Structure 1
Amino acid sequence: MIRKTNRKSLVEQVVEQIEQLIEQRHWTVGEKLPPEMELMEEFDVSRNTLREAIRALVHAGLLETKQGSGTIVRSTSALDAALKRHVKKSTMLETLEVRLALEKQAAQMASERRTETDLKQLEACIRSCKDASANNELDQFISSDIQFHKTVVQASSNQLLIDLYEHMTEILYSFVHDFMTMEPPFQFEQEFHLELFEAIQKQDKESAAAHVENDMEVLKENIIKIMEE
């Protein structure tokens, strides 16, 4: 028997559609949603249904409503919003532990599944890191460094892992920037990841995992040292 669509399911449908539009970058972070009347027509729903859907997304952290400014996109997904909430409460060491778990697994999988294209992209990231180091350009170095890690994760060919890591990009940028500015001058060449690249190139997953673990352990020791000073 076909059931009539109830108000709750309509709200859920609108929530799902708005989420998809945000994830597909139809509306980007910081962008204001169209006027209420336009959205009502677009989704073919009542004002109450639309407002309930928006309230749900505000609660989830995807949207923010401001008096006189309308509704603004705040996160790319519910997962992204949740990660941002958690990272505000987490310490640098907790963030590092999450990085280790994701990147160690990614390095092992990338060693088995990497393509020639992946290797070329990793080499390009390393070159970019070296150029930034030579010119003492911190922001460019951090961006290139994070792109290296993202490329390793993408080479794992595991879409869930890729999605999880993608949502951590902003968190990672803040993490790396905070660390590198804690004790200047930072020795950029320590972060070139040449040994990790070679392990992935040789498809040596044990060595790749060991390099990630070693890099993270050095970072952890430095962070603890800095915090104690």
Structure 2
Amino acid sequence: MSAPVSEAPSSLRSARRAGLIDQVIEQLRTQITEGGWAVGERIPTETELSQLTGTSRNTVREAVQSLVHAGLLERRQGSGTYVLAASELAGAVSRRVANARRLDVLEVRRTLEVGAARLAASRRTTADVALLQELVAGRQAARRLGDLDELVERDVRLHRAIVQASHNPVLIDLYDNLVVALQENVRVNVTYISPDDEDHSALVDAVVNGDADAAATEAAAFLDILIEGSDQELDLREAEG
């Protein structure tokens, strides 16, 4: 008498559909990581994605949800689904920074940016110099005009450009995945520091002139002011608590 055949596990029966979901996930991920959909952009609706991928809405819904869990996408009630980050690492960093103390974020920035400034002063190219000078001038103009949004954008781009001038691909990748999450941190910082305290011109001059020690000192200086202020705020809150 032959042995009874056991019923196949449900996971095996759904393998074909799971494989289809994985294909859609990979298509959507590629669209995000290659810049087809920029960070902050709303992606097509589930119906549109279903038509584009030739799959059902249920398949698309599961693929999108997977990328929401991965931190690449964000659902907004009544508005749609938006690109939150360009990579899983950036998404994870964004979630971590969103729940972190301002002081902790500043200390991480100081660790990365001081070293980057030192390297940038030693390795900057002519193209790096031109970009840094353009960005610092734009940053100064935005502050004079009181344009906070433009100031934040220029500030983030300037710090990113200094890191890129280090020409260290690992450092650049780490910072690029952090910088997406720093927008709000930067917004708080630029409103905390008065115009007379810093305009980053000394930092850029040090990098342009190839003075590694001065670049590191200038990169640390304004962050130390912010760290000291955050530390004092934390002590005050703990004392009140």
Which residue among 213, 221, 224 is the counterpart of 2:228?
Answer: 221
In structure 1, list runs of 5 or more residues that go unmatched: none
Q: Which has the larger radius of gyration?
A: 2
Q: In structure 1, how many angstroms separate the alpha carbons of the residues matched to 2:231 and 2:76?
A: 40
- For 1:32, the equivalent position in structure 2 comes to 43
Q: Does the 8 Å CA contact 1:154/1:162 hold for their aligned counterparts?
A: yes
Determine the structure 2 residue equivalent to 1:197: 204
Change (3 A) 1:207 1:131: same
Please name the residue that 1:83 is paired with.
93
Distance 1:198 1:65 in 2: 43
Where does residue 98 of structure 1 map in the other structure?
A: 108
Q: Give 1:27 deviation, angstroms.
A: 2.7
Native 8 Å contact 2:118 2:216 kept in 1: yes
Q: TM-score, normalised by structure 2?
A: 0.74
Given the superposition, is the C-alpha separation of residues 191 and 67 from structure 1 closer, same or farther in structure 2, using an over 3 Å criterion?
Answer: closer
Cα offset, 1:72, TM superposition = 4.3
Aligned partners of 1:197, 1:66: CA distance in 2, in Å? Answer: 39
TM-score, normalising length from structure 1? 0.78
Match for 2:32: what amino acid?
A: I
Q: Which residue of 2 aligns with 1:118?
A: 128
- 8 Å CA contact retained: 1:130, 1:192: yes
Q: In the alignment, is residue 212 of structure 1 matched against residue 233 of structure 2?
A: no
Q: Distance in 1 between matches of 2:230 and 2:149?
A: 20
Structure-2 separation of matches of 1:171 and 1:150: 13
Structure 1 residues 141 and 191 mapped into 2: Cα distance closer, same or farther (>3 Å)? farther
CA distance in structure 1 between the aligned counterparts of 2:201 and 2:42, rounded to whole angstroms: 39
Q: Which residue of 2 aligns with 1:166?
A: 176
Deviation at 1:79, TM superposition (A): 2.1
1:187 and 2:203 equivalent?
no
Q: Name the CA distance, whole Å, in 2 between partners of 1:158 and 1:195.
A: 23
Q: 2:148 aligns with which of 115, 138, 141?
A: 138
Partner Cα distance (1:65, 1:129) in 2: 33
Q: Work out whether 1:16 is the aligned partner of 2:26.
A: yes
Percent identity between the two aligned chains: 35
Tell me how far apart the structure 1 counterparts of residues 155 and 98 of structure 2 sit (CA, whole Å): 23
C-alpha distance in 1 between matches for 2:54 and 2:203:
53
- Partner of 1:168, secondary structure, is helix
Which runs of 5 or more residues in structure 2 are unaligned? 1-14, 237-241
- CA 1:139–1:26: 2 relative to 1, 3 Å: closer
Aligned length: 221
Quote the Cα distance in structure 1 between the aligned partners of 2:96 and 2:202.
32
Question: C-alpha displacement at 1:19, in angstroms?
Answer: 0.9
- Decide whether the 8 Å contact of 2:42 with 2:80 is kept in 1: no
Q: Aligned partners of 2:32 and 2:169: how far apart in 1? A: 19
